[in-house]
Chains A and B, each alone.
Chain A
Amino acid sequence: MPQTFVKAILLLFTLIACMRGYSIADEFHYNNFLIGDRASGMGGAYTGVSDDPSGLYYNPAGIAYTTGRNLSASVNAFYSLTKKYDNVIGGHGWERNATSLLPNFFGIVQPLGDFKFGFSYAVPDSIKEDQDQAFTGSLPTSLGSPADLYIINFNNEDNTYLIGPSLAYELNDKMSAGMTLYLYHRSGQTTLNQFIHLQDGRFEWTNQYIERVERGFKPIVGLMYTPVEKLSLGVSLAKTFVYSSSLNSQKTFKDANAPTVNDYTREVIDDSSKRKFPYEFRMGAAYFPSSSLLLTIDGIYYTSVHDSVFGNRVSVLNGAVGAEYYFNRNWAVRGGLFTDLANTPEQNPTRSDQPEKIDLYGGSLGVSHFTRNTSVTLGGSASYGTGKAQIVSGSTTTQDAEIFGWTIFLSSSYSY
């Protein structure tokens, strides 16, 4: 049974690693990256605006109101994430660091007859971990003897890409509709090399390589509505459908309890189970009191997911508020606040191997300089949260955990 294989590989991996907390990108949150320059500066509260290329991602109906004839925008971001877990091994804490420098978004919008056509590329999730860590001392294990040396070399890279066209149309003076059809591509590789030396002289050694690829599509449909002057309301609905998935694992394992020191096992597992995603429902309002000020608010609701292979997810409601203020026609500043709540259930103290639950809260700032054809934006965001995790496999012990992530982005938009 493919599902059993996946469960087995995830379980084996965590058993051998003696640690949980391994995740491909950050699958426990939906709002890992803010997308776009103007939108990022306003905490992602952009569904009611969406009138530049970033709108292709948030609400494609908004690009019907782009004012430039042709627009392109590009965002490059440096991302850093630190996760800390208390009391993991012999009182030691465990810290995981991930960084990523990547093109976060590129989009272009131009008229096409009565329509506005767009094409965009977005990276809503990405992680790159490269960790070398050694623990010494008397370390508790489930192998019949404490360990005196624990070495882990862990390399993990996982990226999600969305790329595809959009089309928007003004239905009438007050309403527009739009659609984006993203191709979804997610790929990742994990390499683990782990050595545990026990105080009684035995040792355990694991070398594992996992490669995974998912392909699918993510349609986004949106509406933009102007009920009264200076107020714009937007809604969009999205869902990712995976049509192809592959997970390949090769693991070579030297068991501490093997009959002879030369015994080892090798496992190769292939699986094609498809991950399930929630419906993503965005609602946003934008108020334009003057040409210098813009206020926005968004609510993003993700439905629950029943996925027996990759884990169930609870429904999540994230919120964001943002503001944009122009000092003059050449300079503008933006700020925003947002939530990034965990999509995992509350931890049950009687169970083991539960996914971490850490709700995040963040803020963002950005400053833009405009010239005739271009704008350049420098901005950043940060999020922080505390919660609970169970990263020692098979144990009901929970650890206090915290996450701190920050992003700096440099972006430009260009009209021609």
Chain B
Amino acid sequence: MTNQRAMPAYLCVLLLSLLPLNALAGDDRAWRERASAGATEAETVNEDINEEVNFGREVAARLIGRYGLSSDDQLTRYINLVGQSLVRNGNRPELKYHFAVLNTSDINAYASPGGYIFVTKGALEKMQDESELAGVIAHEMTHVNEKHVVRELGIRATEGSAVSGLARLIGGGTETARIAFSQAVEKALDMLFKTGYKREDEVQADKGAVTLCAVAGYDPGGLVRYFQRINTAKGKATEVLDKTHPAYDARIALLKETMTKEGIESGAYKSFKERFSAALKQTK
């Protein structure tokens, strides 16, 4: 073949240069981020909160569909009273929290974005006082307060601006957004039932739980006692819990360390054992 152009030497040099420079590379890749990230990661707006609530409601509906809700109105009211006492000390006043009991013997508790908190009947049966219940609820609330699912799945509102509308018109964005919402719900359920939260999110939720309990006047050691008890309850009832959470020994150690560090390992905290027993009397 005539007129062929040979590959220039500088291209060969560029190719070879790919190989030996590993040691020089930095791990921080913030430099890849463009200035437009400032536009795409703007502060949370009301629409984002609405989207979080809508998303959480969908996930909550799937949870209820899976297990069913307890029909015990008094128990549900009690759970809500405990939950609301924690909400008053939380950091998401824009959310309206809902608390309910799932009708399953599985030992677990779930949080859905937007403020939907569930405790299972199986978990309640393992608890011995209200501070333990408060600890479990506070752990789930921290997942919501810190937006663990929202951040992990990038839940936020779509825009209503003209530019955004044009973009969606060109790119078929409305449909893709709807599909993405549906996919995100499935991912959230995967997180709850299979993969669990990120380890650092669980750590944050545990730390946040004892702090929140202490601020609300509950004995922060309640969560430690609950963990110690269910740590010995191996079996089908804790299958999902064990699969989606870190080992209890490490969590208990972390809780104790946090309580010491925060100076809340002892104090005039309440456990409300009798009140808890009375509330659960009907269900036992």
Contact = CB atoms under 8 A, between A and B. Distances in A.
Interface of A: 51, 65, 67-70, 72-74, 76, 106, 108, 110, 173-174, 223, 225-230, 232-233, 235, 281, 283, 285, 288, 291-292, 294, 299, 301, 304, 306, 312, 314-317, 324, 326, 328-330, 332, 345-346, 368-376, 410-416
B14 A233 contact: yes
Contacts of B37: 67, 291, 329
B159 A326 contact: no
The majority secondary structure among interface residues of chain A is: strand
Contact of A416 (B15, B32, B39, B173): B173
B85 interface: no
Contacts of A223: 18
Nearest to B22: A174
Contact of A74 (B4, B32, B34, B171): B171
26 contacts: A68-B40, A72-B173, A74-B172, A227-B22, A228-B24, A291-B34, A291-B35, A294-B34, A301-B11, A304-B1, A314-B1, A316-B5, A332-B34, A332-B36, A369-B163, A370-B36, A372-B42, A373-B40, A374-B164, A412-B166, A412-B169, A412-B173, A414-B167, A414-B168, A415-B154, A416-B180
A416 B4 CA distance: 47
Given A67-B32, A229-B31, A346-B3, 16 more contacts: A65-B32, A74-B172, A227-B22, A229-B25, A229-B28, A230-B31, A317-B5, A330-B36, A332-B36, A346-B2, A372-B156, A373-B159, A412-B167, A412-B170, A413-B171, A414-B168
Nearest to B175: A72
Contacts, number: 176
B153 interface: yes
B34 A326 contact: yes
Contacts of B281: none
A314 B156 CA distance: 52
Interface in B182-199: 183
Contacts of B268: none
Nearest to B27: A173
Interface in B125-168: 153-154, 156, 158-159, 161, 163-164, 166-168
B105 to A, nearest CB: 32
